[in-house]
Structure 1
Amino acid sequence: MSGLDPRETRSADAREADQVAQLKRQLTPDAAEQITSLADLAKLPVLRKSELSKAQAEHPPFGGIATKGITRLFQSPGPIYEPGGEGADWWRFASALRAANIGANDVIQNTFSYHFTPAGAMFESAAIAVGAQVFAAGPGQTELQVRAAHDLGVTAYAGTPDYLGAILAKADEMDVDLSRITKALVSGGPLFPAVRQGYADRGIACLQCYGTADVGHIAYETVADAPMIVDEGAIVEIVTPGTGDPVAPGEIGEVLVTPLNPDYPLVRFATGDLSAVVTGLSDCGRTNMRLAGWKGRADQATKIKGMFVRPEQVASLVGRHPEIARARIEVTHDGQRDQMLVKLETQATDETVFEAAIREVLKLNGAIQLVAPGSLPRDGVVIADLR
């Protein structure tokens, strides 16, 4: 365990007590009164990207969220505006770099974008925090990337999983030796096993991490192909898409993140990503929650018979009938028109009692199938487009 942040190896009780204390300091007084444990977060509303974008349009630039110490401003598609603050490692990616063994003896080629979005600044801030030197490359101009990597003695790469391969292929084409690169930390896209193995065959140990422009670092690998460990500065919940209701451990659901950042206190931010909690502890000695990695998108909005149906509507349908434990919509096409089947987990035996609510909430008619409690898949899918 040498070299680990002491927070990464603490007990679950000690972590929760510390996180609750930090959380309460960045909540409004009314919200803070409701929180005595992390489970109490479920009492607070979910913040979705669409809501944040709307709030920012009405109350620019950050939607009325109280900020402090903001030194940098960014824009992501939407548009959504994100702040950056003072101090080293403001977005908390240093833990991922340390896990990738990147530190004071490294020169890291940062190919994340420095234009509009904060990714470049995120990784640069973290690299400086761990003592590495940073070549602020950004993406593109691959031939120049190769020359610079060679001339500057680059030892580590940060960027999307595929772009490192493009740099190495161009180096081979140019007959330039980049064998000093032995470490890589990637994000922003899937790291396929064959890609990781290809890097390993060249002597490059490649790990991945997960974060967003809004909340910063969320989770990171410490061992290749192992579950990702949640960052100590983030509280992560896995909930049924379209709701704020936690799922059981191991079930797939939407990732909500509450970063412990009083400079920009987002609460229960819905990332739109699906994942699941992996039980047990990592072999690396870190004790925090583990995530199964990216399992798809939670925004399953689907156009049926010309109208969009969204997970929030499915959640509203379930909320109207306490006897419904879970719902799943399956969409098919019979060659002429869309067909909607609404599957309801319930002990009820008369589907007609749900017809009015389905028409009112979903704005569509559809077939209803009552299924036994526990029989629907726990895969995070509430609207399955089978067309």
Structure 2
Amino acid sequence: MSDFFDALETRSPAEREAALMAALPRQVAHAQAASAAMGEILAGVDAAAVNSRAALARLPVTRKSELLARQQASRAAGKDAFGGFAAIRYGAAMPRLYASPGPIYEPEGTTRDYWRAARALFAAGFRAGDLVHNAFSYHMTPGAFIMESGAHAVGCTVFPAGTGQTEQQLQAIAELRPQGYLGTPSFLRILVEKAQESGTDMRSLVKGLVGGEAFPPSLRDWFAERGMAVYQSYATADVGLIAYETRAREGLVIDEGVIVEIVRPGTGDPVAEGEVGEVVVTVLNPDYPLIRFGTGDLSALLPGACPTGRTNARIKGWLGRADQTTKIRGMFVHPGQVAEIVKRFPEIARARLVVSGAMANDQMKLLVESAGAEGLAQRVADAVRDVTKLRGDVEVVAPGSLPNDGKVIEDARSYE
């Protein structure tokens, strides 16, 4: 039995990159033609010239907040509920649509394993013939369907458990004896603890794939002590599977159907390998062709390849949220403004805006990494006031001294 879902996982990096960059211009052209919203966002872009990561990085990032705003405006005008982003319409081409918080509406196409989740299930040990207990929500959101479609593509049978009704779920597990669990890690822990209290037998569950929440190593080990090998996946309703964990337990391997960039929050500028930034995804999905979609999640690229033999790049996993917009003295300051300040000064490598003080006494200081230049602090302070309309202190710090955690704005105020 193969250790890999398909041959794509073991391609040479050069072969994969060539295939992705060959597909990219076609996807950009398709997005411009078939998606009204992407056509506006990418107006004037020569799709044929977007054939490298450098060219891709010059395109605008569309963040979830913008997607929501476009959907809201479109719905208010009595137009397309998807804000012009979907390339398919109601009918046979769109069997279902879903709602995520916002609400943001997402379409589902007819492609088998539409969100490409099968690859993550296979890496987590799921195989044809397994019975899977799916405890993701089947209500409005696509989480359960993302995993169910992947399980079907692997060849599994799915019990649609959904959320809640813990006692009934435990009864089903004891009587049906599924091998695998899909759902959040916190709910799996609840099931295990309730089973221990009630004496319910759930020893059949020996594998799991979780998502939707942070999955710390301590909880992973807790499950392992109880006979369950549980792995994590990283997917969103907008772009499907982004990355998945393997038995190596060394980061998450990027899916074969997406192009992932890590950019400095508030910008579209890719950061160096190992630096924490926002996950930006270009998905090769003709039905919902999102180009440079900003997920709002923080992560970082890891060096090297997965020890399992999968050759795609890896990310560290979910490291927090990139949207650090903060209200200071009654005005919103967002990471894009910090980025605008930094771009005015080539001598600045990185910056971090620290907001401190007690409530109603906000103080802000911009820390900038620089080897030093005469009068830099005052010039930057002038730029801070110009961009944010707020006064703030500026402190020049040594290059490399700011934490590598993706934070551009740190809220250190006391709310007690």
1:324-352 per-residue CA deviation (whole Å, 9 max, x = no partner) reads 33221111116872211112234432133
Equivalence for 2:68: 53
Equivalence for 1:85: 109
C-alpha displacement at 1:23, in angstroms? 2.0
Counterpart CA distance in 2 for 1:204 and 1:98 is 16
C-alpha displacement at 1:173, in angstroms? 2.9
Q: Any gaps of 5 or more consecutive residues in structure 1?
A: none
C-alpha displacement at 1:19, in angstroms? 1.0
1:94-150 per-residue CA deviation (whole Å, 9 max, x = no partner) reads 011000110112100001011111001100000000000000110100111011112
Q: Is residue 213 from structure 1 mapped to residue 237 from structure 2 by the alignment? A: yes
1:257-307 per-residue CA deviation (whole Å, 9 max, x = no partner) reads 111111110011111111111101111010001111111111111222222
C-alpha displacement at 1:31, in angstroms? 4.3
* Aligned amino acid, residue 348 of structure 1: A
C-alpha displacement at 1:224, in angstroms? 5.7
Using a 3 Å threshold, how does the CA distance of structure 1 residues 335 and 120 change in structure 2: closer, same or farther? closer
Q: Is residue 42 from structure 1 mapped to residue 57 from structure 2 by the alignment? A: yes
Q: Secondary structure at the match of 2:191?
A: helix
* Structure 1 residue runs of 4 or more that deviate by more than 6 Å after TM superposition: none
Q: Secondary structure at the match of 1:256?
A: strand
Question: 1:366 aligned to 392, 404, 415, which one?
Answer: 392
* Aligned amino acid, residue 248 of structure 1: A
Equivalence for 2:82: 62
Equivalent pairs, count: 387
Counterpart CA distance in 2 for 1:291 and 1:118 is 24
Equivalence for 1:153: 177
* Aligned amino acid, residue 328 of structure 1: R
Q: Is residue 171 from structure 1 mapped to residue 186 from structure 2 by the alignment? A: no
Equivalence for 2:382: 356
Q: Is residue 386 from structure 1 mapped to residue 412 from structure 2 by the alignment? A: yes
Equivalence for 1:9: 10
Counterpart CA distance in 2 for 1:110 and 1:9 is 29
Q: Secondary structure at the match of 1:70?
A: coil
C-alpha displacement at 1:213, in angstroms? 1.2
Alpha-carbon RMSD? 1.8
Using a 3 Å threshold, how does the CA distance of structure 1 residues 125 and 336 change in structure 2: closer, same or farther? closer
Counterpart CA distance in 1 for 2:359 and 2:225 is 49
C-alpha displacement at 1:66, in angstroms? 4.5
C-alpha displacement at 1:56, in angstroms? 1.2
Matches within 5 A, 1:1-387: 2-4=2-4, 5-28=6-29, 30-59=45-74, 60-68=80-88, 69-223=93-247, 225-333=249-357, 337-346=361-370, 347-350=372-375, 351-387=377-413
TM-score w.r.t. length of structure 2:
0.89
Using a 3 Å threshold, how does the CA distance of structure 1 residues 336 and 44 change in structure 2: closer, same or farther? closer
Contact 2:352 2:368 in 1 (8 A): yes
Contact 1:254 1:271 in 2 (8 A): yes
Counterpart CA distance in 2 for 1:132 and 1:88 is 14
Q: Secondary structure at the match of 2:282?
A: strand
Using a 3 Å threshold, how does the CA distance of structure 1 residues 93 and 296 change in structure 2: closer, same or farther? same
Using a 3 Å threshold, how does the CA distance of structure 1 residues 180 and 332 change in structure 2: closer, same or farther? same
Counterpart CA distance in 2 for 1:9 and 1:224 is 15
Q: Secondary structure at the match of 1:43?
A: coil
Q: Secondary structure at the match of 1:27?
A: helix
Q: Secondary structure at the match of 1:370?
A: strand
Counterpart CA distance in 2 for 1:117 and 1:224 is 31
Q: Secondary structure at the match of 2:273?
A: coil
Counterpart CA distance in 2 for 1:385 and 1:176 is 46
**% identical aligned pairs:** 53
Equivalence for 2:39: none
* Aligned amino acid, residue 381 of structure 1: K
C-alpha displacement at 1:39, in angstroms? 2.9
